[in-house]
Amino acid sequence: MAEIPTPNPVRTKILDLCLEAFNQDGYRKVSMDLVCRQLKISKKTIYRHFKSKEEILEEILREQLREIESKSDHSVTKNPALQDLNTLSELYFTFLDSLSGTLLGEISESLPHLTSWIDLSEKQAFREPFRKILRALRNEGSIFFTMNSRELTDAIFGMLRGIHPLPADQRTLVYSLAFAGLAKSEPAKKSGRSREKEAAEPEKTKKSGRKKNK
């Protein structure tokens, strides 16, 4: 992650306006002339802070992820809990909500290097922490799953992307039920007598084998 720039009121106004404009009109349609007119500043002022429109977009993406990571650091508990999966899911939706489908589509088509950067950042900010929580919860017996934790994480994030267009209350219900299913899917524990019976089974087999040999 790039070094966080020193806060500057003009720089902040440029970023805020461009984020709104990019989301509403698309990256291609927003010109620096429009930004200058809206903020009543010169191009020289803009280029004092940013080398190009693309650099503005890159900084917008960095700021969105920095904000999410900061919220994650304060919201996710030190001791992994099932609620942390819900928290990370909501933070992921917050990130998706900050960028319109039109803008993401244009990035994918015209700026593939930014698409790769977004994918990597998403992995670091959301998927890896999520996967670590899944593994920790499984190790302590709070949830149960048999598939690879990375594959399960990818499947869950595919689900989250799929339900993102739903109203907030509906998508919360969907992923909450999915996570509750993980917590309820552990096979029933066997009674002490059943475990003793299983433990004795190999010994009985050995004795049976000896009789046959005789």
Q: Given a cut of 50, is residue 206 above it in pLDDT?
A: no
Average of per-residue pLDDT values in the chain:
83
Percent of the chain with pLDDT over 70: 81
**Residue-wise DSSP of 52-107:** SHHHHHHHHHHHHHHHHHHHHHHHS-SS--HHHHHHHHHHHHHHHHTS-HHHHHHH
What value does the mean pLDDT take over residues 203-213?
A: 48
CB-count exposure of residue 210 (10 Å: 0-12, 13-18, 19+): exposed
Task: Give the domain ranges of the chain.
Answer: 58-184
pLDDT in tens, 180-202: 888 865 554 444 443 344 344 44
Local confidence band at 75 (pLDDT 50, 70, 90 cut-offs): low
* Alpha carbon distances (Å) from 93 to 5, 34, 136, 158: 26, 30, 23, 12
Local confidence band at 124 (pLDDT 50, 70, 90 cut-offs): confident
Q: Given a cut of 60, is residue 71 above it in pLDDT?
A: yes
**Residue-wise DSSP of 149-208:** HHHHHHHHHHHHHHHTTS-HHHHHHHHHHHHHHHHH-SPPPPPHHHHHHHHHHHHHHHHH
pLDDT in tens, 137-193: 999 899 999 999 999 999 999 999 999 989 999 999 999 999 988 886 555 444 444
